[in-house]
Amino acid sequence: KDCQANLWLVKEPCMHYVRYQRKSILASKGTSLCMNKWKCYLVTFWQWHFSLWFYPRRISINQLSNHFLEFLGYLSSVRMNPAVVRSQILENSFLINNAIKKFDTLVPIIPLIASLAKAKFCNVLGHPISKPVWADLADSNIIDRFGHICRNLSHYYSGSSKKRSL
Read off the pLDDT of residues 91-136 as tens digits, 9 standing for 90 and up: 666 666 666 666 555 555 676 677 778 877 778 887 777 666 556 7
pLDDT for the residue 62: 64
The pLDDT of 77-85, averaged and rounded, is 61
Taken in order 129, 131, 132, 134, the sign of the CA dihedral is positive
pLDDT confidence band for 166 (50 / 70 / 90) = very low
Distance of CA 37 to the CA centre of its chain: 23
| CA–CA separation, 9 and 93 (whole Å) | 36
Give the Å distances, CA to CA, from 41 to 46, 47, 62, 71, 102: 9, 10, 18, 25, 30
Angle formed by the axes of helices 32-50 and 2-11, nearest 10°: 50
Q: How many CB atoms lie within 10 A of CB 46?
A: 14
pLDDT tens digits, one per residue of 33-58: 777 777 777 778 777 777 767 676 76
Q: How many CB atoms lie within 10 A of CB 30?
A: 19
Question: Which residues are 98's β-sheet partners?
Answer: 85
- For residue 143, the SS3 value is helix
